[in-house]
């Protein structure tokens, strides 16, 4: 079929689909009107209510909004007929969210059904609690659910559902469940005759015990006894045998549960456990009959090996397991290789001697080239854990070679691990410098800021390293392709230690300056700011090139960027003073950085955060795991819950981005402020700092946390805007991060409704308490806020879901205030939520004729906004960045409408619940040579016109596309 014919076919299909949609909408509206009238009459019997609620549910499942019928569903729940009650519960769970005002109306009905002697009614009520799961429901009904779980009169299937419902409530609202008080009665159910009940209760205990180790200590011996009955004594019914393996899911959970506790001191218990583990290893030698048998057998075996490693790495069972693991990592089955590498990484993280694992080093290195990325990840984890002084150079060299061809999703983690291993096991300073600079040069954009911060810190603190680092980085700066992170390192090191190599041939002051300045024009504004500080250092160190540098300062006194302009003007003033006294004072050499934990480790541990079933070990060596285990046990078993966080007083110096005590451009000791290029801390309101504030991150001060931590209402935390801008036209990403907490956001919008999920990750070494979130609402935007958990466990994460409704047009965006206690009295963060008017528009497709017809119909005047503005970055119309941004603002891109292919034309419809739909059209004309845009927006509402134009202009001006 020719291209025109295909296009015609698609066009006809679109018309047909639109017609079908219109007919469906008419039928739906007619049916809704009929149902609404029936409900309004109020003369319906139970069957009729059930019938009409079913129709509403069907329309809801098709995607139509249902804003009535909720009360009829609530009435159905109170019915004594199963069919009516079932539909009522189904409607409630589908149509109501946990913060709905109607939820409290169904709590009493659910409570009555929980107290009934009818097991079917009990189960319907439990389903509703688990599916809706709000705080109010948990507080009111948790005790009743617990009663059903422990009651001798409850049937087995009711107990199973009760256990899983409690698990759901605990995961959402752990502070509501009195876990410690219920421990004794819940633990007894591990011995239940019904293996299904034992399985569900074990899942519940695993969650409760992780946060209440001491209270649930009694489950240890119960779990061992149950395992012995299953594995050794073979006490189980045939209903629970899965391909000749007795209830493998329960075995796995019990084996994992035992890993949360230290090995028992009771010899009798240890003997039982040894028999269980030995029996599992012996059974694993049987030839599997099929794939399912093999999977179940291996799942139990690997968890048993993990438990054996946890109990004693020198035991005979672990020695047998090590031999098995050597075979598993060469298996033809991907799943077996994966589990073998992961379990061997556990062994490497706990064992005293790595020699048995090093025998398989070549095989492990080959796993980096496995066809499955999950296997490659586990191979990387194992190499990281098994690395020591003897094999560090070989492993790091292989990782660097593999980095060039590694998956993009794997590169950032590889960079972190290479940097950590190089620092940890370096025996020669020259090797460390060579590897790190090669890493930065090779990895490019995948090198996080923490990597070059750490290089700067180590070079500054080691005099014997400084000259070699300066020579090496100068060589890299002269290469044709030099990544910006390498330019930052070069700017810092040459600014501080360039004088050490100035007398070497090819490294004179002028040659150093030219090497750096050749990269100046292609760098971002932040890097240019850092290099300006390097230049003022050169003026102090090398007066012979002062003229070349002053011309640069004079040129940048007039740029648009306030940070660059201020630095250039102030540095020019200092450099042209009659005497050099002030210049020498502010350009004093950097003092050594205070010793502190590497930020690389913190960043790496964030990427291996715990799931709901927390890891019992972390990727790394034995020392790391011993420290983690002692911290975990002291905080959980002794219920200490908090400890003094380590505070380090950072120096207020140059090049590390520090701030002054008086708000000026120089600090109290004369050193230049913010010379790493991140000077926006002063511009954003940190000019007048308390000298007792805590300076975090090394070596640059990315986050400055006041010990008071209190933020006035309506204020935004300085620096948080850097994340907000990107999220205006994307659906997920980081919305805030500092040394205390990481906040990530995911969002979705449909018409005038939307929802946002915020994930709060505790980055501190203590439990976060008194955690609250408050929305500062704006007019015409309704946001329902969940009741937040009051704590975030150590290295844990919680989630909050916000439902959003756009009632009418609005401007700006709402704020959210996050408050908590983590070692300081009260810490408050103010953030802008990326809820803007553009989030509630939906893209539409128009042909050229329809577009221009609507364009003329809307007309100009107040309904049109046109702006001509300059972009901060060069405009690239080839790679589609502009179109991606416009699509992110939810405009449908109309191809072929504008005769200039570089121009972007878009159409969309804004949805509001009160004002209906508002048509939105836009046209963007980029001028690549002049680095400018002309943006024209037309909508049927002047408020929307101005707001959309402002939002688009802001992002097009400031984002690199």
Answer yes or no: is 51 a known binding residue. yes
Q: Which helix (H) or strand (E) holds 490?
A: helix 484-497
CA torsion sign, 420 to 422 to 427 to 428? negative
Residues in the chain, overall count: 961
Q: How far apart are CA 685 and CA 905, in angstroms?
A: 39
- Contacts (Cβ under 8 Å, ≥6 apart) of 338: 372, 374, 375, 378
DSSP 733-789: EEEEE-SSEEEEEEEEEETTEEEEEEEEEE-SSS-BEEEEEEEE--TTEEEE-PPPP
Q: How far apart are CA 684 and CA 690, in angstroms?
A: 15
Residue identified by tokens 């097009």 is: 956
Q: Give 354-362's long-range contacts (Cβ < 8 A, gap of 24+).
A: 354/386, 354/388, 356/322, 357/322, 357/382, 357/386, 358/386, 358/390, 358/391, 359/326, 360/326, 360/329, 361/386, 361/391, 361/394, 361/395
Q: How far apart are CA 531 and CA 115, in angstroms?
A: 72
Cα dihedral 758→759→765→766 (10° resolution): 60
At 164, list the tokens: 């899983």
**C-alpha closest to that of 890 among 914, 908, 868, 877:** 908
Q: Give 240-244's long-range contacts (Cβ < 8 A, gap of 24+).
A: 240/195, 240/196, 242/292, 242/296, 243/289, 243/290, 243/292, 243/293, 243/296, 244/289, 244/293
Q: What is the CA radius of gyration of the chain?
A: 32
Q: How far apart are CA 408 and CA 412, in angstroms?
A: 8
Judged by DSSP in three states, 806 sits in strand
Answer yes or no: is 7 a known binding residue. yes
DSSP 374-439: HHHHHHHHHHHHH--TTTHHHHHHHHHHHHTTS-HHHHHHHHHHHHHHHHHH-S-HHHHHHHHHHH
Q: How far apart are CA 407 and CA 936, in angstroms?
A: 40
Answer yes or no: is 47 a known binding residue. yes
- Contacts (Cβ under 8 Å, ≥6 apart) of 382: 341, 342, 344, 345, 348, 357, 364, 367
Q: Which helix (H) or strand (E) holds 288?
A: none
Q: How far apart are CA 157 and CA 164, in angstroms?
A: 11
- Helix residue ranges, H only, 637-682: 680-681
Query: How far is CA 534 from its chain centroid?
Result: 35
Q: Please report, for the chain, how many H helices and E strands are present, in that order.
A: 37, 18
CA torsion sign, 777 to 783 to 789 to 792? negative
**C-alpha closest to that of 628 among 384, 418, 794:** 794
Answer yes or no: is 55 a known binding residue. yes
Q: How far apart are CA 844 and CA 492, in angstroms?
A: 50
Q: Which helix (H) or strand (E) holds 224?
A: helix 219-231
Residue identified by tokens 């364009």 is: 855
Q: Which helix (H) or strand (E) holds 163?
A: helix 156-172
Answer yes or no: is 200 a known binding residue. no
Q: How far apart are CA 719 and CA 831, in angstroms?
A: 10
Answer yes or no: is 358 a known binding residue. no
- CB count, 10 Å around CB of 434? 15
CB contact at 8 A, 231 and 238: no
Answer yes or no: is 54 a known binding residue. yes
Q: Which helix (H) or strand (E) holds 36?
A: helix 3-41
Residues placed in the known binding site: 6-7, 38, 47, 51-55
């Amino acid at each position: 079929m020719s291209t025109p014919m295909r296009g015609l076919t698609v066009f006809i299909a679109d018309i047909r689909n639109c017609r079908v949609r219109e007919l469906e909408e008419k039928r739906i509206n007619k049916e809704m009107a009929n149902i609404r009238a029936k409900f309004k009459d109020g003369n319906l019997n139970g069957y009729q209510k059930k019938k009409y609620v079913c129709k509403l549910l069907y329309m809801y499942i098709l995607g139509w909004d249902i804003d009535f019928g909720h009360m009829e569903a609530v009435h159905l729940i109170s019915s004594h007929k199963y069919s009516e009650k079932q539909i009522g519960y189904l409607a409630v769970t589908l149509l109501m969210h946990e913060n709905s005002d109607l939820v409290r109306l169904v709590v009493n009905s659910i409570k009555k059904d929980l107290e009934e002697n009818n097991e079917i009614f009990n189960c319907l009520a439990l389903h509703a609690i688990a599916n809706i799961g709000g705080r109010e429901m948990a507080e009111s009904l948790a005790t009743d659910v617990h009663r059903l779980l422990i009651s001798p009169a409850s049937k087995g299937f009711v107990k199973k559902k009760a256990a899983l419902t409690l698990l759901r409530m605990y995961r959402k609202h752990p502070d509501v469940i009195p876990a410690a008080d219920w421990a004794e009665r819940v633990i007894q159910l591990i011995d239940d005759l019904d293996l299904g009940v034992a399985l569900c209760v074990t899942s519940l205990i695993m969650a409760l015990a992780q946060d209440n180790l001491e209270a649930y200590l009694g489950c240890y011996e119960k779990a061992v006894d149950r395992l012995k009955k299953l594995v050794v004594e073979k006490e189980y019914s045939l209903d629970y045998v899965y391909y000749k393996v007795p209830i493998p899911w329960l075995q796995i959970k019990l084996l994992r549960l035992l890993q949360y506790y230290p090995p028992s001191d009771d010899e009798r218990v240890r003997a039982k456990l040894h028999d269980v583990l030995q029996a599992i290893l012996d059974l694993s030698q049987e030839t599997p009959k099929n794939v399912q048998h093999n999977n179940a057998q291996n799942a139990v075996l690997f968890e048993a090996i993990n438990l054996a490693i946890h109990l004693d790495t020198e035991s005979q069972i672990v020695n047998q397991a090590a031999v098995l693991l050597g075979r598993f990592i060469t298996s033809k089955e991907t799943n077996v290789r994966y589990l073998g590498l992961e379990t061997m990484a556990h062994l490497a993280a706990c064992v005293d001697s790595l020699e048995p694992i090093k025998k398989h080093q070549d095989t492990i290195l080959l796993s980096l080239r496995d066809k499955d990325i999950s296997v490659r990840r586990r191979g990387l984890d194992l190499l990281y854990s098994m690395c020591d002084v003897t094999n560090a150079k070989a492993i790091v060299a292989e990782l660097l070679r593999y980095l060039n061809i590694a998956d993009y999703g794997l590169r950032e983690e590889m960079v972190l691990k290479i940097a950590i291993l190089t620092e940890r096991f370096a025996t020669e300073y020259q090797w460390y410098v060579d590897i790190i600079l090669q890493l930065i040069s090779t990895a490019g954009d995948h090198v996080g800021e923490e990597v070059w911060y750490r290089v700067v810190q180590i070079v500054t603190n080691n005099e014997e390293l400084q000259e070699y680092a300066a020579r090496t980085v100068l060589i890299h700066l002269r290469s044709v392709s030099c990544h910006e992170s390498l330019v930052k390192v070069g700017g810092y090191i040459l600014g501080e230690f360039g004088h050490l190599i100035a007398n070497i041939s090819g490294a004179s002051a002028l040659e150093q300056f030219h090497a750096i300045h050749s990269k100046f024009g292609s760098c971002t504004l932040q890097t240019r700011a850092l290099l300006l500080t390097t230049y003022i250092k050169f003026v102090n160190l090398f007066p012979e090139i002062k003229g070349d540098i002053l011309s640069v300062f004079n040129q940048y006194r007039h740029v648009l960027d306030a940070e660059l302009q201020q630095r250039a003007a102030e540095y020019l003033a200092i450099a042209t003073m009659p005497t050099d006294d002030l210049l020498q004072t502010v350009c004093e050499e950097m003092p050594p950085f205070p010793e502190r934990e590497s930020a690389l480790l913190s960043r790496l541990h964030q990427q291996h955060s715990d799931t709901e079933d927390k890891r019992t070990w972390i990727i790394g060596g034995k020392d790391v795991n011993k420290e983690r285990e002692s911290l975990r046990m002291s905080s959980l078993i002794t219920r200490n819950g908090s400890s003094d966080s380590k505070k380090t007083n950072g120096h207020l110096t140059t090049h590390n981005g520090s701030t002054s005590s008086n708000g000026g451009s120089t600090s109290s000791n004369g050193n230049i402020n913010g010379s790493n290029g991140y000077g926006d801390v002063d511009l954003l309101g940190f000019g007048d700092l308390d000298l007792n504030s805590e300076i975090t991150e090394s070596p640059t001060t990315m986050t400055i946390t006041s010990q008071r931590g209190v933020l006035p209402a309506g204020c935004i935390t300085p620096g948080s805007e850097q994340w907000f801008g990107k999220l205006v036209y994307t659906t997920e990403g980081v919305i805030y991060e500092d040394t205390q907490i990481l906040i990530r956001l995911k969002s979705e919008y449909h018409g005038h409704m939307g929802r946002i999920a915020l994930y709060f990750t505790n980055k501190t070494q203590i439990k976060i308490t008194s955690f609250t979130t408050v929305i500062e609402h704006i007019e015409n935007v309704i946001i329902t806020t969940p009741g937040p958990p009051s704590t975030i466990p150590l290295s844990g994460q919680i989630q909050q879901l916000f439902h959003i409704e756009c009632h009418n047009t609005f401007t700006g965006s709402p704020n959210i205030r996050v408050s908590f206690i983590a070692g300081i009295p009260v810490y408050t963060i103010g953030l802008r939520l990326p809820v803007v008017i553009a989030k509630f528009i939906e893209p539409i497709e128009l042909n050229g004729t329809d577009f221009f017809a609507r364009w003329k119909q809307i007309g100009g005047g107040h309904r049109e906004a046109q702006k001509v503005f300059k972009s901060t970055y060069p405009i690239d119309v080839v790679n589609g960045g502009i179109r991606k941004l416009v699509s992110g603002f939810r405009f449908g891109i109309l191809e072929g409408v504008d005769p200039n292919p570089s121009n972007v034309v878009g159409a969309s419809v804004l949805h509001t619940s009160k004002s209906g739909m508002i048509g939105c059209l836009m046209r963007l004309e980029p001028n690549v040579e002049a680095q400018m845009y002309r943006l024209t927006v037309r909508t049927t509402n002047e408020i929307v016109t101005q707001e959309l134009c402002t939002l688009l202009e802001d992002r097009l001006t400031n984002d690199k596309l």
